[in-house]
Structure 1
Amino acid sequence: MSTKEAKVTAPVLTATAPLSGPRKATPFLYKQLIQTLEDRVRRGELQVGDLVPSENQLIKEFQVSRVTVRKALLELEQRGIVTRLHGKGTYINSSTVPQLLQAEARTIVETFEVAGVDLDVEILALEHVDPPSHVAAVFGELDQKVVCLTRRYSSDGLPIGVVSLYLPLAMSGVAYILKDSRDAKETSYSVFEKQLGISIGLVKHVVKTAAIDVATAEALDLEEGHICLSMDRITRSSHGGVLEVMSFVYAPGRVSFEIELPRHATGMTIRLADYFETT
């Protein structure tokens, strides 16, 4: 990961009206700062993986308040342009990769491949575990262990997400095939379909936000308890049996989900915080 910082002359940020005392975070000032940083990205002065100047450096360079700088960086983070890593600084993101939830199910590798992004895959753990309650409920086996393969996906040295693959013991061989594979593009789907001859039927996606645990936070260079976008993918065979449950946790600003729906249709259920349900 590069840590270079652009060395250019800073434009003077001016308020729409004279300011007395410390400058306030007026929309005009923080928007100017956002525009300036975006211009540096477009000109290539700041590139993917580059370290953005620190808050103190931006305050000194642009002669604005800390509130203004933080407001600008927060908006850039919310828009996916930068990622702030605790204790390390703020980095320029690669473009957010959209995943379309439409007619067919794709794996994370297939999604990023279509977007032209190469992924690095690292095995974090392969173990027999007591399944989380939501996984046990899907498998219908509340008192049996499952196999869990945990992997981290990265691009350009920045973590994209942590993926935990849960398999019933009868399918444990799939996890070991993936662990030993030298092909970074090998997925559980390719093992099911090409090696085991199992046809995949319906795939259910449950998208939510969740506070991450210690291990996931360490893998994503975040703090424990950070709220991240997550998704559970429940895969069934063409005969209806559950093959796997895969839980994704994405680093902020890496992935967005896009859903296109007709105005009137049946068959899609939307659950709102387990309190309301509409179809």
Structure 2
Amino acid sequence: MRKKLISSSSMPLYKNCAMILRQQILDGKWDGGQKLPSESQLTSEFNASRITIRQAMQLLENEGLITRFQGKGTFVTNKSIEQSLTGIHDFAKNLNRVGRKPSFVIENNSVIACNNFLSRSLDVEVDSCIYRIERLKLDEGTPMIFERLFLPCDHAPELAINELSQKWLSEILSTKYNLPITKVRQTIEPIIIGDYEAEKLGIAAQSLGLLIDRISWSNEKAVLLTRSIIRGDMAKFVVEVGGQFD
């Protein structure tokens, strides 16, 4: 059955196609990871040109709802596992728990002088030495989160790049420097992902995403500031609360 498209000067035909497909995806017509009808099928179903369908699909891809693979077709984006907004988030444990394979790549590691923002966040002196680490987190080999981590050098003297490449930083802090993460505070806000980060994440420039700033403490000591940029198509958070509600 062909879809009835609304012809309106205020809504181009491709946006109308995208609107209908978007609603079907959000309504759960196709599961995450499921293949969508082919371009030819959609052309017939919507009684629209291939150019119109391609424009509609590009719009949905930019929104992170679908993923297109050359030679394989178009699939509903498979959302990542739910991440709790309460407690201490552990990327690796959350993925391992559902049988997925987490990994990471260290993109850059340098030492910078502490600025006013880092001084306030980590309670260290301005101009003191800070490790600045760029890290890409992957879920089953798919880039998911691009991070910049800021760690006072005094907390982890002689931290080597080969260590960072082989172990999660939280594990290094806990086992080598006796700084287990005991508390975190994080803020979350929507952003348009910059070109540099989008390239690292393998997504279109100017895509929607989330910026999470997280300060991690070991007991009463602030030890780490993490600025995480999460792909919009990979972001899914959950909050569980108890009690009675009206």
Asked whether the two chains share a fold, i.e. TM above 0.5, the reply is yes
Where structure 1 has 5 or more consecutive residues not aligned to the other structure, the ranges are 1-11, 265-279
Give the drift of 1:68: 7.4
* Structure 1 position 176 matched with structure 2 position 177: no
Give the drift of 1:94: 2.5
- 2:221 is matched with 241
Aligned mates of 1:23, 1:215 — CA distance in 2? 32
- TM-aligned CA distance change 1:122 to 1:57, over 3 Å: farther
Q: Deviations over 1:187-219 (max 9, x none)?
A: 222222223323433211111123433421210
1:216 alignment partner, SS class: helix
* Structure 1 position 30 matched with structure 2 position 20: yes
- Quick check: 2:149–2:227 contact (8 Å CA) kept in 1? yes
Give the drift of 1:116: 2.5
Could you say what the CA RMSD is over the residues aligned between the two structures, in angstroms?
4.3
Aligned mates of 1:62, 1:188 — CA distance in 2? 51
* Structure 1 position 219 matched with structure 2 position 203: no
Where structure 2 has 5 or more consecutive residues not aligned to the other structure, the ranges are none
Task: Give the partner amino acid of 1:242.
Answer: A
Identical pairs, percent: 17
Aligned mates of 2:44, 2:117 — CA distance in 1? 50
1:13 alignment partner, SS class: coil
- 1:256 is matched with 236
- TM-aligned CA distance change 1:146 to 1:105, over 3 Å: same
Aligned mates of 2:243, 2:47 — CA distance in 1? 50
Give the drift of 1:147: 0.7
Corresponding residue to 2:145 among 161, 165, 169: 161
- 1:189 is matched with 170
Give the drift of 1:142: 3.4
- 1:82 is matched with 66
Q: Deviations over 1:234-268 (max 9, x none)?
A: 11111x1111111111112112121223569xxxx
Aligned residue pairs total 235
- 1:230 is matched with 211
- TM-aligned CA distance change 1:139 to 1:31, over 3 Å: closer
- 1:116 is matched with 99
Aligned mates of 1:142, 1:254 — CA distance in 2? 36
Task: Give the partner amino acid of 2:232.
Answer: P
Give the drift of 1:33: 8.6
Task: Give the partner amino acid of 1:113.
Answer: N
- Quick check: 2:208–2:231 contact (8 Å CA) kept in 1? no
Q: Deviations over 1:148-194 (max 9, x none)?
A: 1111122344321112221011134456364242xxxx322222222
- TM-aligned CA distance change 1:259 to 1:23, over 3 Å: closer
Question: TM-score normalized by structure 2?
Answer: 0.71
- TM-aligned CA distance change 1:199 to 1:124, over 3 Å: closer
- 2:4 is matched with 15
